[in-house]
Amino acid sequence: MAAAPFVVSVTTERRNPGVQRDVRVAGPLPGLGTSAAAVPDGADVVADVALEAMTDGRMTATGTVTAPYEGECRRCLEAVSGSV
């Protein structure tokens, strides 16, 4: 079975505190949305992050996550779409 797109191995980084690595992962996240908008079925969510190993064994992830959305405007009830 293939690994999920948002699961990233950090074994090497955790063994080397202070190491930083840029990671880009993309894939669908079914059911992602709010009451008024959602990521369309099958659309990719993209995460561009810098992973950094801390000296206390923790990992930090800093970056951006983007995804397309479709929904309904709460004021005019028209269909809306875009990227967030």
**pLDDT confidence bin for 1, thresholds 50/70/90:** very low
**pLDDT confidence bin for 36, thresholds 50/70/90:** confident
d(CA 10, CA 1): 19
Burial of 38 per CB tally in 10 Å (0-12, 13-18, 19+) = middle
- pLDDT of 71 > 70? The answer is yes
Cα 53–chain centre separation: 19
pLDDT for 23 equals 94
pLDDT for 40 equals 95
Mean pLDDT of the chain: 89
